[in-house]
Amino acid sequence: MADQFPGRAVQIQKFVKESPTIPWLVKDLLPDVGWTLLVGRKGIGKTTFAMQMCLSLQSGQPFMGRYTEQRNILFVQVDSVELEWRAILARIAPTSLGWTLVSSPTNCLDNPSYVSALADLIAKVNPGFVVWDSLYKLSRRPVNTERVADTLDQLGLLSGTVPWLLIHHPPHEENRAAGHHSIGATCSNEWHLLKNKLAIDKGRLVRDKEILLSKDADGLWGLVVDEDDSNDSHLLSMIIR
C-alpha cells in the first residue's frame, strides 16, 4: 500500500489562525520545538549559561527576564569529570530538582552498548528538555563532514520528541562551526555566547538578535539593563541562582 502524502494546501489567512500562539520554553528565546546549538570559545561560560537556563526551566522561574515553561531537565555532562561537575553545580544550582547524567565515557555515542544504556537512563528520567555537553566529547566523528549527521541523528533519537541543546566549542578560537557540513546548517536555533552578549545567529521565531550580558563575581550570567529604564530596573539583579 502506497504511503499517504501528509502535505496539504490551505489558504494562508486560514493557516495562520490554526495555531494562534507559539509554544515557548523561554519566552521569545527558546521555542518548544527543535534543537539549539550553543557555540562559544573555551572557557567563555557556555556550561554555566546552559545550566542557569536549566535551573530556571526546572523551577519555572524567569530566565534573563523572560518567562519560562516549567519542564523537568536532564543535563548530560561528558565534558567535565564528575568531581569538577559536582563543584560547578554546587555553585550554580545546589538545590535544583533537575537531573544530570554523569560519568559518561568520552565518545560514548560510538559504542552501541553505551548508546543503549544512555537511552535507558534517559527514558527513566523522562525529561522535557535535554542539554548535551559537549559535541567533541560525545563522538570521534568529525564535526564538519557528513558523518556529523550521524551524531545529530543519535542525539535526536536519544532526546526523543523534546527540545534539546548541544554545546560546542569550535577549534582555533573561532566563533562558529564553519564548513560545508556545518552543524549550524541543520539546527533550529544557533546561539553564540560572547564575552558580553548572547548573539542569536539563527532562530526564525526570535526577534531579539542579541541579549547583553554580564558576569558577577561567581561567574554567573545576568542581564545588562539600563538603570534609567524604570520598567526594567528590577532585572538588574536577574542573575539566576
Candidates 187, 213, 192; CA nearest to 65 is: 213
Give the C-alpha separation, 171 to 193, whole Å: 15
CATH number at residue 151: 3.40.50.300
Residue 45 grid coordinates: 561560560
Count of the separate structural domains present in the chain: 1
- Answer yes or no: is 216 within a domain: no
Give the C-alpha separation, 158 to 125, whole Å: 12
pTM value is 0.87
36: number of Cβ within 10 Å? 24
- Answer yes or no: is 176 within a domain: yes
- Answer yes or no: is 65 within a domain: yes
- Answer yes or no: is 10 within a domain: no
Q: What is the mean pLDDT of residues 78-90?
A: 95
- Answer yes or no: is 78 within a domain: yes
- Answer yes or no: is 133 within a domain: yes
- Answer yes or no: is 110 within a domain: yes
Taking each helix axis from N to C end, the angle separating 148-159 and 112-125, rounded to the nearest 10 degrees, works out to 30
Q: What is the mean pLDDT of residues 169-175?
A: 64
Q: What is the pLDDT of residue 2?
A: 82
For the segment 200-237, what is each residue's pLDDT rounded down to a tens digit? 999 888 888 999 999 999 999 999 976 555 444 343 33
- Answer yes or no: is 106 within a domain: yes
Residue range of the domain that includes 82: 32-189
For the ranges 18-27, 162-171, 207-216, the lowest mean pLDDT is seen at 18-27
